[in-house]
Structure 1
């Protein structure tokens, strides 16, 4: 059985391993100072929030990070699920679904009007799950690096 709980300072080694695997999955790099800042902000649990999933043996098998922000199409706030990663060996176990549900429940209690996220168009494995738990909006993301 998978358990999901708020990330604590004691989770740092397990979080680091999952975080690095997530960054590698997206063929990207995150500077060490950004990783330090990210973990510190998750621990502060004010603007950036995080949870870790552990299997029945206590092994960390997934992570999720999210934040809320005001929106112009509601008087409330939206919840943005920014990072979601499940260890390849734990995929198909319900961990990803559980992490999304954890954020959904948190956002509901917080008073957000929706939870949303982005994924790579070719992330077929994840999109199979996402199509079961959410509605694709059909939007395409653009960005400008500053």
Structure 2
């Protein structure tokens, strides 16, 4: 498998992954999909950025998105891994780990002090991986 930045010709392969992500989290992001895609094609210095995982036969089998941002606790920026999704039949096969490690590499190149992300508590498959590649924090999320 190959991890690389998403490109314009990937739209047909990315759309089903994006839909699968939405279905998994039971959300409808139809209204923002086109805007999100366009921002991937012309990201500013902070993103959002999108990496895709290409399978052996060239099909897209996963993606991740991330952004960089300033923070008050460190002079270096932080990296927020926004989205991560792999096709269901390949979960547990290293695709998610490879995508996370690719974001770690991008964050290191950007001199980030931290890479972090959120997930739903019901995401058992994801959390098994996350427990291996990162440290669970005690933070609780609030939102308006």
Do these two structures clear the TM 0.5 threshold for a shared fold by scoring above it?
yes
Which TM-score band applies after superposition, normalised by the shorter structure? over 0.9
Partner of 1:68: 68
Partner of 1:105: 105
Give the whole-Å Cα distance in 2 for the aligned partners of 1:19 and 1:31.
10
CA RMSD of aligned residues (A): 0.8
Moved over 3 A (4+): none
Q: How many residues align?
A: 142
Partner of 1:43: 41
Structure 1, gaps ≥5 residues long: none
- TM-score computed with the length of structure 2 as normaliser: 0.96
In the TM superposition, residue 57 of structure 1 has moved relative to its aligned partner by 1.3
Partner of 1:4: 3
| 1:22-57: CA deviation from partner (whole Å, max 9, x where unpaired) | 01110110133x100000111113221001101111
- TM-score computed with the length of structure 1 as normaliser: 0.94
Structure 2, gaps ≥5 residues long: none
| 1:86-106: CA deviation from partner (whole Å, max 9, x where unpaired) | 100111110000000000000
| 1:79-129: CA deviation from partner (whole Å, max 9, x where unpaired) | 000000010011111000000000000010011111000000121110000
